[in-house]
Chain A
Amino acid sequence: MVVETKSARFDSIALDSGATLSPVEIAYETYGSLSADRSNAILITHAFTGDAHAAGISEETGKPGWWDNMIGPGKAFDTDRYFVICSNVLGGCQGTTGPGSVNPATGRPYALTFPVITIRDMVRLQRMLIDSLGIPRLLSVAGGSMGGMQALEWAVSYPDMVLSTIPIATTWRHSAQQIAFNEVGRQAIMADPDWAGGDYYDTKPPARGLSVARMVGHITYMSDESMREKFGRRLREKEKFGFDFGVDFEVESYLRYRGNQFVSRFDANSYLYITKAEDYFDLTNGTGRLAEAFRKSDTRFLVISFTSDWLYPTYQSQEIVRVLRRINGDVAYCDLQSNYGHDAFLVDIAEQTEIVRGFLASTARMARAA
């Protein structure tokens, strides 16, 4: 399945901060086809550094999508049945307007003049896209990690437009630990002299800082067990320690590789803006009254967590489930056994596929019966 990234453009978007962004562009891909009654659309929301290319082989790069194992003919999000949409988030750097985009007022990249955005702003832009595609109601919104935050936000902000929500390995508000790791990443970027107050688009990007930020991120996406299995204390192309500060261990080599690779595809300012949006995320706007946030919503929920995920731990998903139970909401929940840590939703997908497939099919069945 060769896919092409498309783009939609809107005159302006009003943001939570009070600022307005105009114009605004959003990159998206679609898979499968929309049914005549437009009832089979599913929006996939991506995690922090994801993009619109969720499935199939990119026409441009020849690479498979980031959730290609979950989206496609016969897969969990079965494109023989459903019309699947995925877009790049607001503030991103893969086709949707972000700090690296050119500000039409100045003819130069926004850099730090880009307004601070929220998860709700991302969802607002997605809603504009869904409206423009002529889809009155989504069968489901599904995503992991920051994608799960967006899915939850959809259920709360536009309850009439979502029949079901699949928040995976996520939280209803960012915790101190999650904010802490994001702050380390931001500080790594801002400590790099090449960052230059965010104004580096004419020179060279803060590659060292961004790469260190990514290395920290990668550690939090794995688990002690998965790192032990994958690397152990194995040395990298040597039999003995080098007694210097070059690469000794496999794990060092892996992190450096991931860090360097990331620099070529991701904008450091987007890193700052998107992590800030995650950190501001609180479905209750600080009241802590999650039941009230969900009360407007008749949406069905399938909440999924993973046993070894210590970045978005099981208890955070269980809090969502408990509150939904308290208001007698329709919620299915499973804590899937996996050693892959937070990355599990991307890589350990057999059981996830089993439940997502059944949940979507029963949601479609309910929609038809209603």
Chain B
Amino acid sequence: MAAHTMAPVFPRVSLAERPDFSIIGEIVQPGSRVLDLGCGEGALLAWLVENKQVLARGVEIEAAQVRKAIARGVSAYQGDIDEGLADYPDKAFDYVILSQTLQETRSPLQVLKEMLRVGRRAIVSFPNFGHWSVRRAMLFTGQAPKTKLFPYDWYNSPNIHFLSINDFEDLCRTSGFPIEKRYFLSGSTRVGTMPNLLAQTAVFLLG
């Protein structure tokens, strides 16, 4: 009977699907409390539960993705990031993660403040609008860039804010968000120099 011999509910999770996930996987300490904002189908949280034994919570607005996250065992709930954080008490989590979603939120500054209220640390990753491919696309076409990094047409893009690494650093400075660590990636390769030009993805650890 079965409760003991049950097959694993979800197949082994791979972090390969998103390069920033492996950085986040590196940052998060085992056994910590993690809230993933815009958790999608819960791939990152499922990986963290399996490999870091974290206490995982996720928020996702799309019902279909919430269903998949719950189906793989993640405590995800359907809700809006911009509103959803308000319910949590201060420092309810060790990490609040916003992976590739900052540019989709209505009020990014408010979300970042709330993340640092609700979490002891915040992990923020985003696609870098300062990347050379974006600059080149704009320079040569004179149109809203449609690149590998920003693959949408302007009229149906979920991205409503565009920010570069330098923009984010500026915001952290002026808003007093302490940057503990920064990671820059091109594909899954770390970028050392000139990140604002060469990095496709940035991951910041705040707090």
Contacts and interface: CB of A to CB of B under 8 A. Distances in A.
Interface in A332-367: 332-337, 351, 354-355, 357-359, 361-362, 364-365
Contact of B4 (A333, A355, A368): A368
Interface stretch (B70-78, B99-107, B150-158): B70-78
Contacts of B68: 354
Contacts of B9: 358, 361-362, 365
Contact of A334 (B8, B67, B88): B67
B194 interface: no
Interface in B14-57: 55, 57
Contacts of B57: 330
Contact of A326 (B4, B70, B87): B87
A63 interface: no
A311 interface: no
Contacts of B76: 332-333
Given A331-B75, A334-B67, A326 B89 contact: yes
Contacts of B69: 332
Interface stretch (A32-40, A145-153, A183-191, A281-289): A32-40
A40 B3 contact: yes
A81 interface: yes
Interface string A159-193: 00000000000000000000000000000000000
Contacts of A361: 6, 9, 73
Given A40-B1, A355-B67, A357-B71, A332 B77 contact: yes
Given A334-B67, A354-B67, A35 B3 contact: yes
Given A321-B77, A358-B71, A334 B63 contact: yes
Interface string A25-59: 00000001101110110000000000000000000
Instruction: Give the one of A32, A327, A331, A334 with max B CB within 10 A.
Output: A334
A354 B67 CA distance: 7
Which size class do B's interface residues fall under? 20 to 34
A326 B85 CA distance: 10
Nearest to A318: B79
A292 interface: no
Contacts of B139: none
Contacts of B67: 334, 336, 351, 354-355
Given A325-B87, A336-B63, A354 B71 contact: yes
Nearest to B60: A334
Interface of A: 32-33, 35-37, 39-40, 80-82, 139, 300, 302-303, 321-322, 325-328, 330-337, 351, 354-355, 357-359, 361-362, 364-365, 368
Given A333-B66, A334-B77, A334-B78, 9 more contacts: A81-B2, A328-B88, A328-B89, A331-B77, A333-B76, A334-B66, A335-B63, A336-B63, A368-B3
Enumerate the 8 nearest inter-chain pairs by beta-carbon distance, A residue then B residue, closest first: A362-B73, A358-B71, A333-B77, A40-B3, A81-B2, A361-B9, A355-B70, A325-B87
11 contacts: A35-B2, A35-B4, A82-B3, A139-B3, A325-B77, A328-B88, A334-B77, A351-B67, A355-B71, A358-B70, A368-B3
